């Protein structure tokens, strides 16, 4: 993902960014004479790291039967 630095001189954009930051608002960005919408400014959320399933990804599956039951002591191997 790329990022850019915004110069303080672009006042309208800076104001929009402040509203995104403080009020969690979203802004549509249009471009050209036709004002075609090309992007959206949204509040930043830290990306979730995807889990890596390693070499067995997509190679197997399992199914839990509806009558499966296990007590807490069985799960924790307590007697």
pLDDT per position as a tens digit, 30-60: 877 887 888 888 888 888 777 776 777 777 7
- The span from the CA of 71 to the CA of 75, in Å, is 6
Q: Strand, coil or helix: what is 37?
A: strand
Residue with tokens 């309208």: 12
Q: Is 17 inside a domain boundary?
A: yes
- Quick one: which of 63, 64, 26 has its CA closest to 42? 26
Q: Is 1 inside a domain boundary?
A: no
Domain that holds residue 61: 11-46+54-76
Q: Is 3 inside a domain boundary?
A: no
Q: Is 68 inside a domain boundary?
A: yes
pLDDT tens, 4-18?
566 655 777 888 888
Q: Is 6 inside a domain boundary?
A: no
Question: How many structural domains comprise the chain?
Answer: 1
Q: Is 39 inside a domain boundary?
A: yes
Q: Strand, coil or helix: what is 38?
A: strand
């Amino acid at each position: 993902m790329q990022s850019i630095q915004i110069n303080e001189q672009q006042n309208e954009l800076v104001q929009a960014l402040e509203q995104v930051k403080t009020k969690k608002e979203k802004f549509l960005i249009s471009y050209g004479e036709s004002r075609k919408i090309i992007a959206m400014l949204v509040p930043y959320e830290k990306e979730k790291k995807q889990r890596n399933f390693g070499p067995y990804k997509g190679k197997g599956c399992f199914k839990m039967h509806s009558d499966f039951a296990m007590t807490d002591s069985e799960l924790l191997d307590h007697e």
